[in-house]
Amino acid sequence: MNTIDLEKQIKQKLREQKTKEYGDYRENFHILSMLWSVILKNKLKEDIKPHEVANCMVMLKLMRVAENYKQDSYLDASIYLDMAKELHKDD
């Protein structure tokens, strides 16, 4: 097994685990996009889209590793980026 296959398996396991713990990411990011749009309504010209929520989560993880190295933050950022890519197709 090569490194790329192993990383894919790890990411898939983590996504399955997070889905069990928090529910479907598509639904969660859709809800978050609506909530953030309400909170930021006076600052926004348009509503926030679910893929933009995922992109913000990537930036959050990158901000965290800029302060302190934590290996799983890179993996989380990679997973959020995959989610953003999938969601952007739908938006």
Domain ranges of the chain: 3-90
Chain-centroid distance, C-alpha 52: 9
- Residue 4 is predicted with a pLDDT of 81
- Residue 49 is predicted with a pLDDT of 96
> In the 8-state DSSP scheme, what is residue 49?
P
N-terminal to C-terminal alpha carbon distance within the chain:
35
Neighbours of 68 (CB within 10 A): 7
> Which ranges constitute the DSSP H helices of 1-91?
3-22, 25-39, 50-67, 71-90
Rounded to a whole number of angstroms, the CA Rg of the chain reads: 14
- What is the model's pTM? 0.86
pLDDT tens digit sequence for 13-47: 999 999 999 999 999 999 999 999 999 999 999 99
